[in-house]
A and B are shown apart, each in its own frame.
Chain A
Amino acid sequence: MPHRLELIGITKRFPGVLANDNVSFSVKPGEIHALLGENGAGKSTLVKMIYGIMQPDAGEIVWDGQRTVIANPKAARALGIGMVFQHFSLFEALTVLENIALGMDAKIPARELEARIRAVMTQYGLLLDPHRTVATLSVGERQRIEIVRALLLDPKLLIMDEPTSVLTPQEVEQLFEVLRKLAAGGCSILYISHKLHEIKALCDTATILRGGKLVDTCDPKAETSRSMAEKMIGAGLKDIVRAPGRTMGAPKLVVSRLSTKKSGHFDVPVDGVSFTVKAGEIFGIAGVAGNGQNALLDALSGEILGEDKDAITIDGYPLGLLDTTGRRKHGLCAVPEERNGHAAVGDFSLSDNSILTARNRLHMVMLGLINSGAAKTYTGKVIADFAVKALGPGSTAGSLSGGNLQKFIMGREILQRPTVLVVSQPTWGVDAGAAAAIHQALVDLAAEGSAIVVISQDLDELLALCDTLAVINAGQLSEAQKVGEVSVEEIGLLMGGVHGTSEARDAIPA
């Protein structure tokens, strides 16, 4: 059987980096093929060339046995290549149907299109009402639109770049069902993810890139997550090291009856959340996405202004009425989950991104003027300490690979030595080696006496990292429990009153 896709010696160079260096591999029809590698290994770059977004500097793409130049995404789609991006391009105010119609290369009457959409949805069990407005949909549902859009073209190869980092575990399971059905029907799938247990559950083959070069090909089912991670980084994976005999100090961050108002339609507010984090403690907040995590982070960081000054205190000092700048001055730093446009400005240099949050704590401002030298020095330190792959402090944040930008953002906050650090999804899209480094940095910060709050959907991450764990569900926080005294089942049960994923809401009205 001929290969569906064959890459021969693909090379792509950006100013200062060789993103892909002579990469060759092939994908068979019906194969689910994983593309693995550290942050900045060149995975996204490689698939962008297959989808025609970029052109290789050298090398050949062979499609169904024929040498091909894929000039643009339209040409890729014409060949039967579909791609689902991590960031969706949907118009919020339009319906599912309208969004799909806008993305089609050929104009199809709305009625016929709707019939085809419904047919694809039934075939693959993708439940979605074509007449819902996108603004009312969860992230998982939005992703389904993108998948349906790709499936309507009857693809022979579907590319997915980190599709699951935004999904709830239930949604991930549903996605995998769809992908398996597709593969069974002969469609090849090229799948990028840093979640190695997913790769083991889903993929038939894995190609591993490091520094732009292909370093290994393996069968993920025959490997452990750890062995694959070690192949990616080319060295042993470090375990979290905790100083022995660690003790926790006095209560540092005290949150009492913190509530927010409902702002947007589909935004889940927090409702009477109370918890205490001691000096040296890492406090985890688990929960399925969309249960008020964003509102909680914004209320803690000061982006949502509070009305009760005592709702948040550090060492007894009330912070409830302060804005983000005021809270940072008092030692509370925060990292929201969205990197692009929230935690960082893509068009700004890394140095300017340091000014965004570190200007006051690190004295980068004098008499209203910015000391750009200080910002540059600090940025250089973050890049070095957190092994951020970037040309230097002058690189724009948008030119970094997803995981490297996350490392930069985490480093920028951690090196400010905050008294209290609140982070959401600290290792989103970060490779295993870098995730371990970020975890270690958080543990070290706690060891210096800071109180840390980690909001994450990744239960394994929380169990490995935290001393104490609570679950957020529909905006309310459960009792805190000591990690080690609580079982995974118990937490699963707490997360289970699962909000927002009922089948009824997803059903297609006949």
Chain B
Amino acid sequence: MQFRLEKRAEPSRFMLYATPVGAVILTMIVGAIIFSLIGYDGIGAVREVFLTPLTNAYKWQDLGIKAAPLIIIGTGLSIAYRANVWNIGAEGQFVVGALAGTWVALATYTMSGPWILPLMILAGVVGGALYAAIPALLKTRLNVNEILTSLMLTYASIQLIYYLIRTVWKDPMGIGFPQTRRFAASAQLPTVIPHTIVHLGVPIAIVVALVAWFIMSRSVFGYRMRVVGAAPHAARYGGFSENKTIWLAMLVSGGLAGLAGVLEVAGPFQRMVPGFATGYGFTAIIVAFLGRLNPLGVIFAGIVLAITFVGGEVAQTTIKLPDAATGIFQAMVLFFLLAGDILVRYRIRRVVTTPAGAA
């Protein structure tokens, strides 16, 4: 008796949604085993990482503010990836969006008014989109692979933070600390639930995902992204130019990463600091895939990955899990998801081989 893969006539809908759940469960099981083997309390680690953030109500606000940027960036990436445009540099666009917002905040430091925050948000979106325009330009004009350029620009953006906060934007009161001054009140993102840290970015994230879902499933824009990704030749025949699609995908995903960046700097940070780039832009890649490149799925996936962030911090203090543990859990989720994806298109069949058929 042996097993083999048989191509399904149509991709399995059930598996499409079951594999992300399966990937998370498998991550917990394998994670527990691995951490036990290397001498930690494996089951405790999984409990702290995946369950404590949910059972401890005090952690919910952390979940919200960590999930928000993941959902916003993940939504943008899910749109670009649908069209097979591989923007890997959301982290850089996130940073540049935040820098653009910081610039507005610092330039309006002495002013006040309700127009400042919207202007910052606008600057953030534009900044992120412009930063994503560089790989788009290189791809469409010179056919340079966008994976490389967008990724490398991430490192450039982080150097840009260091440069700006050491020189022109350095806090005059900062006793030598390389960081900007704290934003004025009009440039700070308000909280939406009193006495918590849950800021306006959280509802914005949900709205962004819902709007994106509507657009992707009902509009010509969404159709364009899907058809370019599924069959580029047919897309051209249907009147969707490849270059325009690359531009749209890059600008939308970059703009949303920039939006997440400005919300992050105006919300939790309220100033630009050297450690601003914490990897949301990379984790959002996992979020996009775990969410099945579907904005509604991205909401759930964003929450799952936020759990690992929050839980990772918990486990660091309670059972002394190393900092890298969070990354390991996140990587395992992606790994099992991609491996499980084969079940969407193939089914496992048991075959009984007879001597004549045995090869």
Using a CB–CB cutoff of 8 Å, the interface residues on chain A facing chain B are 14-15, 52, 54-55, 63, 66, 68-72, 74-75, 77-79, 105, 301-303, 323-326, 328, 334, 336, 338, 341-348, 352, 355-357, 359, 365, 368-370, 372, 396, 398-399
CB nearest neighbor in B for A358 = B238
**Complex Cα–Cα for A256 and B149 (A):** 43
**Complex Cα–Cα for A352 and B237 (A):** 14
Q: Is B234 a contact of A365 with CB atoms below 8 Å? A: no
Q: Is A69 a contact of B218 with CB atoms below 8 Å? A: no
**Complex Cα–Cα for A71 and B221 (A):** 44
- 22 A-B pairs with C-beta separation under 8 A: A14-B9, A15-B9, A69-B356, A74-B359, A75-B353, A75-B357, A79-B356, A324-B237, A328-B239, A342-B231, A345-B231, A345-B234, A347-B11, A347-B230, A347-B231, A348-B227, A348-B230, A352-B223, A356-B234, A368-B219, A369-B220, A372-B218
Q: Is A344 a contact of B357 with CB atoms below 8 Å? A: no
Give which listed residue, A75, A334, A341, contacts B231 with CB less than 8 A: A341
**Complex Cα–Cα for A357 and B234 (A):** 10
Judged by a CB distance under 8 angstroms, whether B4 is at the interface is yes
Judged by a CB distance under 8 angstroms, whether B358 is at the interface is yes
Which size class do B's interface residues fall under? Answer: 20 to 34
Q: Is B359 a contact of A75 with CB atoms below 8 Å? A: yes
Q: Is B9 a contact of A357 with CB atoms below 8 Å? A: no
Q: Which residues of A contact B220 (CB under 8 A)?
A: 359, 365, 368-370
Q: Which residues of B contact A15 (CB under 8 A)?
A: 9
Q: Is B238 a contact of A71 with CB atoms below 8 Å? A: no
Q: Is A346 a contact of B231 with CB atoms below 8 Å? A: yes
Q: Which residues of B contact A54 (CB under 8 A)?
A: 6
Q: Which residues of A contact B357 (CB under 8 A)?
A: 52, 68-71, 75, 78-79
Ranked nearest first, the 5 interchain pairs of A and B with the lowest CB-CB distance are A325-B239, A356-B238, A78-B359, A75-B357, A324-B239
Closest CB of chain B to A295's CB: distance in Å?
Answer: 14
- Known interface pairs A14-B9, A348-B227; A341-B4 also in contact (CB < 8 Å): no
Q: Is A396 a contact of B10 with CB atoms below 8 Å? A: yes
B1-25 to A contact mask, C-beta < 8 Å, 1/0: 0101010011100000000000000
Give which listed residue, B9, B233, B351, B356, contacts A66 with CB less than 8 A: B356
Judged by a CB distance under 8 angstroms, whether B278 is at the interface is no
Closest CB of chain A to B212's CB: distance in Å?
Answer: 14
Q: Which one of A77, A79, A303 has the highest number of Cβ atoms from chain B below 10 Å of its Cβ?
A: A303
Judged by a CB distance under 8 angstroms, whether B354 is at the interface is yes
CB nearest neighbor in A for B240 = A325
- Known interface pairs A368-B219, A370-B223; A399-B239 also in contact (CB < 8 Å): no
Q: Is B353 a contact of A368 with CB atoms below 8 Å? A: no
Give which listed residue, A68, A303, A338, A352, contacts B236 with CB less than 8 A: A303
Q: Which residues of B contact A352 (CB under 8 A)?
A: 223
Q: Which residues of B contact A66 (CB under 8 A)?
A: 356
Q: Is A355 a contact of B234 with CB atoms below 8 Å? A: no
**Complex Cα–Cα for A77 and B113 (A):** 77
B37-54 to A contact mask, C-beta < 8 Å, 1/0: 000000000000000000
**Complex Cα–Cα for A278 and B151 (A):** 55
B335-359 to A contact mask, C-beta < 8 Å, 1/0: 0000000000000010111101111
**Complex Cα–Cα for A334 and B239 (A):** 12
- Known interface pairs A71-B357, A105-B359, A370-B223; A323-B231 also in contact (CB < 8 Å): no
Q: Is B233 a contact of A399 with CB atoms below 8 Å? A: no
